Amino acid sequence: MEIIFFATAFICGFIILQMKLPPLIGFLAAGFILNFAGFESTELLSKIASIGITLLLFSIGLKLRVKNLTQLQVWAPASLHIILSCALFSGFILLMGYFGLSLFSELTLESSLLIGFAFSFSSTVFAVKVLEQRGEMASLHGKISIGILVMQDIFAVVYLAISTGKVPNMWALVLLGTLPAIRPVLFWILNHSKHGEILPLFGFFFALVGGYQAFEFAGLKGDLGALIIGMLFAPHKKASELAKSLLSFKDLLLVGFFLTIGLNADITLETLFVALMFVLILPLKTALYYILTNIFHLRARTSLLSSFTLSNYSEFGLIVCAMAASSQLISAQWLAVVAIAVSITFIIASPLNNHANEIYVKLENWLTKFESNKRLKDELPVNLNQAKVLIFGMGRIGTGAYETIYHSFPDSVAGVDIKPECVEKHIKRNRFVILADATDPDFWQRVNHSHVEMIMLAMPKHVQNIFALEQLKASGFSGQVTAIANYPDQQKELESLGVDSTYNFYLEAGSGFAEHVKSKVFN
């Protein structure tokens, strides 16, 4: 049975990918197609989906620092949004009930607030998938979005603990008190897991056993445990490598999650109509995200992109409604309503996020009128000094290029990266590297590149280099541009867009290695 599920997911995902849309839309469509064909979700598929979500939360933890949650522009918008959107949705539900509409009229104030609470959340699964596909997990708007979602997860855990009557037992204090003490031991184990197949197994073990099962045993939410254990490993130098080793496993298992949404939906004309009503008021929820983040001094673009990332309903709503239905607070039909609404908003939000930069450019003049004059440290104007060569992406390739140029022209090269920890590392090594987002149209307005003669695009994601190239051309840059690529088709695309030269990382790394050997042997 599961073979049929994943085969259908592949076919639908492949078709959607050819349309240049995220494959997850195809996975959702596959779930609904299988539902209409008479298939039902299986216990194995549900377990696959559950493991996928646990690994996702563990991976989020690996990239998350506690200080990100304590920032005013994260916890304040998250808290206010929960309160205001809950009031918005519950008010809408009560209004529809007042007019006697079916499904709404049976709800009390308590059940209306509960459903409003369910619709107030945004999807962590969707946000991470979109940010990873665009290579923006480390961008400011990506970190703000993930921070808000983690805050929502905390609210969710509190709700689940209260609603289920599940109280942490004596082992909870032991567990939470022991983790910081044994972290050096855990770091030693991670160091000695090396780089092979043991590394992803390390991730599976600590996400599913050390995180999920241990926290469940202590009377705490298992998914929260996976997130906290991930955060415990976040400061480690191998955290990024660990996250990458889990990426393919996590993505494959999450296909099961997207399939279960469609397979579990009990679709009728009535539930479809009510779900569409909630989809129509989603822009209000999105606008609320924008207004609140803008109030706390985020630039217009950062607020807009964060809002688009969060412009959906959450799978958590299904959990809330399932618990409410089991307690007979609401009818089971509301499960179908939430499932359909979640699916439709995923489908709408995917292309919306793909074209977020283009949308911002069109709305920029209007949005910036309401922008705060105060700037966060991460969004201050950029000073390139007198650099003639600018390198975007200070990973291994960018760093190697920087060092090579620096030895000959020490005052003529500058690096740019969106990861604060990466920038801090380079600054400590006396490299001139600045924190900025090359795909941000505002970046090109805040920087004077008239003296720059060459720009090197060395960002790890091909789509990042494409976005940066588009912004570079729009800013009127007339110098030379070179870019890295992983595959020949990516090289052709870059060259067709006007890049002067491209560097195939996999192909030319071998050539570079051969040149190195020749110089050692024959000189």
Other C-beta atoms lying within 10 Å of the C-beta of residue 241 = 14
Fold of 2-370: Na+/H+ antiporter like fold (1.20.1530)
What pLDDT, on the 0 to 100 scale, is given for residue 25? 80
What pLDDT, on the 0 to 100 scale, is given for residue 157? 67
pLDDT bin (cut points 50, 70, 90) of residue 508 is low
Instruction: Tell whether pTM > 0.85.
Output: no
User: CA 461 to CA 394: how far, in whole Å?
Assistant: 13
What pLDDT, on the 0 to 100 scale, is given for residue 311? 94
Pick from 309, 311, 305, 310: which is nearest to 440 by CA? 305
- The rounded percent of the chain whose pLDDT value lies above 70 is 93
Mean pLDDT of 357-370: 85
> Which of left, alpha, beta for 40 (phi over 0: left; psi -120 to 50: alpha)?
beta
pLDDT bin (cut points 50, 70, 90) of residue 83 is very high
The region of weakest confidence among 26-35, 264-273, 280-289, 390-399 is: 264-273
Mean pLDDT of 466-493: 85
pLDDT bin (cut points 50, 70, 90) of residue 4 is very high
pLDDT bin (cut points 50, 70, 90) of residue 380 is low
Q: Tens of pLDDT along 253-263?
A: 989 988 988 88
What pLDDT, on the 0 to 100 scale, is given for residue 304? 93
How would CATH label the architecture of 381-522?
3-Layer(aba) Sandwich (3.40)
Tell me which H or E stretch contains 480.
Answer: strand 480-485
For 433, phi and psi rounded to 5 degrees? -130, 135
Q: Which residues contact 154 (CB under 8 A, 6 or more apart)?
A: 224
Mean pLDDT of 194-201: 88
What pLDDT, on the 0 to 100 scale, is given for residue 276? 94
CB distance 498 to 479 below 8 Å? no
pLDDT bin (cut points 50, 70, 90) of residue 142 is confident
Q: Tens of pLDDT along 408-465?
A: 888 889 999 988 888 989 999 999 998 888 877 667 767 777 788 999 999 888 888 8
pLDDT surpasses 70 at 28:
yes
pLDDT surpasses 80 at 167:
no
Mean pLDDT for the chain overall = 85
**CB-count exposure of residue 101 (10 Å: 0-12, 13-18, 19+):** middle
Q: Which residues of 461-496 are buried (b: 16+ CB within 10 A; e: fewer)?
A: bbebbbbbbbbbeeeebebebbbbbeeeebbebbee
For the chain, the domains span: 2-370, 381-522
User: CA 380 to CA 394: how far, in whole Å?
Assistant: 20
User: CA 301 to CA 473: how far, in whole Å?
Assistant: 19
Q: Tens of pLDDT along 299-309?
A: 888 899 999 99
What pLDDT, on the 0 to 100 scale, is given for residue 11? 95
- The rounded percent of the chain whose pLDDT value lies above 90 is 27
